[in-house]
Every structure is written in structure tokens, then in C-alpha cells.
Amino acid sequence: MIESMQSFTASLPPMLQWVGVLLVAAIPFVESYFGSVVGVVIGLNPVLAIGVAVVGNVLSMLVFVLSAHGVRSKVFAGKTAKELSPRRAKLRRTFDKYGVAGVSLAGQAILPSQITSAAMVSFGAPKNAVILWQLISIILWGTAFGVAATFGVTLMG
């Protein structure tokens, strides 16, 4: 799958390859970390690759957070919460144990930022706190993978 995304991005005219990285990074499970790798591997400047991968992931995450917040506000207006599925109950326990910051920073190792951020907002976490910590997490993960890809490409080249 990553190879097909690299092929797609590399097939774009050089002046538009950054757009391809931005689009790829907006896909859940690809995110800023694989998006930055795709950008570095196709030859974009690492700073540009990481930057546009972060922007793509952030834009996608914002859509999920704002949508979840809007849905939660409408659904729970004057109602009580229903019982959670086993999977959501596990996510809720993790959220209760580690909070917004912990789930945001570590959650990307398990689930995409879009899913974890929407879940946290649906649990009642403040949307602005979720956005802030997801932004920090997306930047850290994208930078770490982009730097690793840069050194990997440099060592091989």
C-alpha cells in the first residue's frame, strides 16, 4: 500500500508532489508518520515532506474532531449515555487512565489520530484539548519518522 502511495506521489509533476504527500497523510493509518516517509523517499526536502504530511494529517484530524463534537452535541442533548461496546469500553478505560495527552501521544501506535481524537471527543473530552494534544502528537510522530527516513535514505544513497 505504501508503495502505491509512493508511486502516486512520485508520478505527480515535481511542483505538485507536495500535494500528493498532503493527500496521502490525510488518510487514516497513513498519517503524518508514513506521509513524511513517502515524501522523503520520493525526494522531497525532508522539512517540506514532514511539514506537508503534518498539515494533511492535521486537516483530516480536524474534520473528525469537529464532526464528532457536532454529532455528540446533537445526540447527547438532554439524553443519557448508553452502554459502550467492548472495544469502545477498552478505549474509554485507556482514556480515563492516561487522559487526553497520554492517549494522543501514545494512541497513534495503536489507532489513527482521526479515530482516537473522535473517540476522545465522543467520551466528552474538551475538543480544544484534544486538538492541541493531537497536533503535538502528529508533529512529533511525523518528525520522528521523517528524520528516520532521511537518515535511512542518506545511509543507503
What's the confidence (pLDDT) of residue 157? 47
CA 6 and chain centroid, separation: 18
Average pLDDT, the chain: 88
CB-based contacts of 122-126 (< 8 A; 24+ apart in sequence): 122/68, 122/71, 122/72, 123/92, 123/95, 124/72, 125/95, 125/100, 126/100
- The candidate with the shortest Cα–Cα distance to 33, out of 107, 85, 84, is 107
- What would the mean pLDDT of 129-143 be, rounded to a whole number? 96
Q: Which residue has the higher pLDDT, 77 or 9?
A: 9
DSSP 111: S
- The candidate with the shortest Cα–Cα distance to 145, out of 33, 29, 25, is 33
Task: Note down the domain range covering 38.
Answer: 2-156
Band (89; pLDDT cuts 50, 70, 90)? confident
What's the confidence (pLDDT) of residue 134? 96
Indicate if the pLDDT at residue 5 is higher than 90. no
pTM to 2 decimals?
Answer: 0.83
Q: What's the total number of domains in the chain?
A: 1
What's the confidence (pLDDT) of residue 111? 85
